[in-house]
Amino acid sequence: MSANSVIKVGLLGAGTVGSEVARLIESDQSDLAARSGAAIEVVTIGVRDKGKDRPGVSRDLLTEDLDSVVTHPDVEIVIEVMGGIEPARSLIVKALNGKKSVVTANKALLAKHGAEIFAAAKANGVDLYYEAAVAGAIPIVRPLRESIVGDRVKRVMGIVNGTTNYILTKMDEENASYDSVLKEAQRLGYAESDPTADVEGHDAAAKIAILASLAFHTSVGIDDVFASGISHLTSRDIEIARAIDHVIKLLAIAEVTNKGAVSVRVHPTLIPRSHPLAAVRNAFNAVFVEAKSAGELMFYGRGAGGAPTASAVLGDLVAISRHISFGGLGGRESDYADLPIASIEEVATRYLIRLDVADRPGVLATVAQTFAKHAVSIQTVRQSGRGEDAELVIMTHSALDKDLASTVSELQSLDMVKRVESVLRVEGVDPSDSSSNSARK
């Protein structure tokens, strides 16, 4: 048992997540004390505007002097739920250097400055926990860092952004256009008024960078992630996916290529409707992990919201409090494997390409020759006429991104190809294609 019967906590931020954390620490104090080995008490909360109304949060605890939270002599654990890069980065580093353990929900910060922050925690012999930074309430950081750390992870594939999953679900189930669903999502509070970080895949990129670092013991930052969002998707893309019994999801994927490099990417992806991730609807998140001995694991739940995110923060808080009470430290990140990062050009997947072509003899043969010339093998072609034009929907076997890119570039130069309407990646089992997993070890 710790010499301290009370563990004092400083909060940075009392917005959606922080206010909920403060309320739960207050309302659940006896359970938290029994589980932690000491009572947990919030003694100071840093905010931008002390005057704001925050139901259930004591105004007396609020301060606009954030530095005073991380230098408070009695605070042993700092919970950073303010978001953004600065001043969050400097404050966390200052707290760690002051021998205080830190809980953070800040994916953007960890994906950019994770190495510096992990090093500061290690150098000071304190804990740094961040379960809430990826997929809200879903336990995925700790499983990768601790539960399956003895296994060899081959691949992590997740739906880690609720806003885009909500939009794609509505587009699929209600035949709605991207613009109309985005407006509805904004009205319901599922999407920000500036939705760029979500719809362009930046939020998912930060999360998969964190998961890739843990899964492959390699430092992966946001700049290592290829990200492409959903804003260009049309109702026709969704319709075509449905016609071949697939669904489009914004997937964040981290895997080891057959050349031993780590590939990390976020993009709209067709997956078979029978795939476990296809059943993840609306704003829910899920992460699918493939490991050598464990096989396939799936983690599912709420990826955002005040209460679900606060649940993950409180789990970290109790874990650290136990260490303070009974001794010990949590698992550490390791980057011993130090694998190279693969560029997107070297990644192999299947593709679905939709072309608007002239409806005349010889077109199909020329298009097929163009694919063959760039070493992209075609699995199926569907053609439908529409007056003078025809739509060609081509599914390829697994091909390198760079080969697909040169194919598309040449297709665009053919006068019989009026438009390359869309190019989408396809994941999931291709029973006829033994090479479809060629990007994986």
**Token duo for residue 263:** 């590939």
* Residue 315 parent element (H or E): helix 306-326
170 vs 302, which CB is nearer to ligand NAP?
302
Residue from 2, 4, 6, 15 that binds ligand NAP (CB under 6 A)? 15
| Shorter beta-carbon distance to ligand NAP: residue 7 or 138 | 138
121-160 footprint of ligand NAP as x/- string (CB under 6 A): -----------x---x------------------------
Check: CB of residue 182 under 8 Å from CB of residue 166.
no
- DSSP code at position 342: P
Binding residues among 199-238 for ligand NAP as defined by CB under 6 A: none
Interaction residues for ligand NAP, span 293-352 (CB under 6 A): 304-305, 309
Q: Which residues of 172-210 are buried (b: 16+ CB within 10 A; e: fewer)?
A: beeebebeebbebbeeeebbeeebebbbbbbbbbbbbbb
Which of 87, 98, 139, 428: binder of ligand NAP (CB under 6 A)?
Answer: 87
9 or 82: CB nearest ligand NAP: 82
Verify binding: residue 18, ligand NAP, rule CB under 6 A.
yes
Nearer to ligand NAP, 103 or 357 (CB): 103
Residue with smallest beta-carbon separation from ligand NAP: 15
SS3 343: coil
| SS3 call for 41 | strand
Reduce the DSSP state of residue 60 to 3 states and report it.
Answer: helix
Number of residues that bind ligand NAP (CB under 6 A): 25
Q: Are 271 and 278 in contact (CB under 8 A)?
A: yes
52 touches ligand NAP by CB under 6 A: yes
Write down the least CB distance from residue 340 to ligand NAP, Å: 29
Q: What is the 3-state secondary structure (H, E, C) of 184-238?
A: HHHHHCCCCCCCHHHHCCHHHHHHHHHHHHHHHCCCCCHHHCEECCCCCCCHHHH
Three-state DSSP state, 61:
helix
Residue 83 or residue 268: which is nearer to ligand NAP going by CB?
Answer: 83
Q: What is the closest distance, in whole angstroms, from the C-beta atom of residue 120 to ligand NAP in the complex?
A: 18
Among 2, 16, 63, 438, the residue binding ligand NAP under the rule CB under 6 A is: 16
CB nearer to ligand NAP: pick between 63 and 379: 63
3-state helix, strand, coil in the chain (%, to 5): 40, 25, 35
Question: Which two three-digit tokens encode residue 36?
Answer: 């932690």
Minimum gap (Å) between residue 304 Cβ and ligand NAP: 3
48 lies in the site for ligand NAP, by CB under 6 A: yes
Question: What is the widest separation between alpha-carbon atoms in the chain?
Answer: 85
Q: State yes or no: residue 426 binds ligand NAP (CB under 6 A).
A: no
Q: How far apart are CA 246 and CA 244, in angstroms?
A: 6
**Closest to 355 (Cα-Cα) out of 312, 277, 407, 291:** 407
Scan for tokens 């530095």, then name that residue.
67
Q: Which is nearer to ligand NAP, 136 or 229 (CB)?
A: 136
Give yes or no for residue 13 binding ligand NAP (CB under 6 A). Answer: yes
Q: How far is the CB of 134 from ligand NAP (least distance, A)?
A: 8
Active site residues: 207
Q: Which is nearer to ligand NAP, 167 or 394 (CB)?
A: 167
3-state SS class at 100 = coil
- Token pair for residue 95? 């707290």
The SS3 assignment for 265 reads strand
Residues 97-126 vs ligand NAP: string with x where CB under 6 A?
A: --------xxx-------------------
DSSP H helices in 45-136 = 66-71, 88-97, 107-124
Which listed range, 76-84, 315-323, 360-368, 417-425, lies at the site for ligand NAP (CB under 6 A)? 76-84
Work out which of 7, 14, 271, 357 binds ligand NAP, going by CB under 6 A: 14
Q: CB under 6 A: which stretch of 8-16, 188-196, 245-253, 363-371 binds ligand NAP?
A: 8-16
Q: How far apart are CA 259 and CA 261, in angstroms?
A: 6
Least spacing, CB of residue 81 vs ligand NAP, in Å:
4
* Site of interaction with ligand NAP (CB under 6 A): 13-18, 46-49, 52, 66, 81-84, 87, 105-107, 132, 136, 304-305, 309
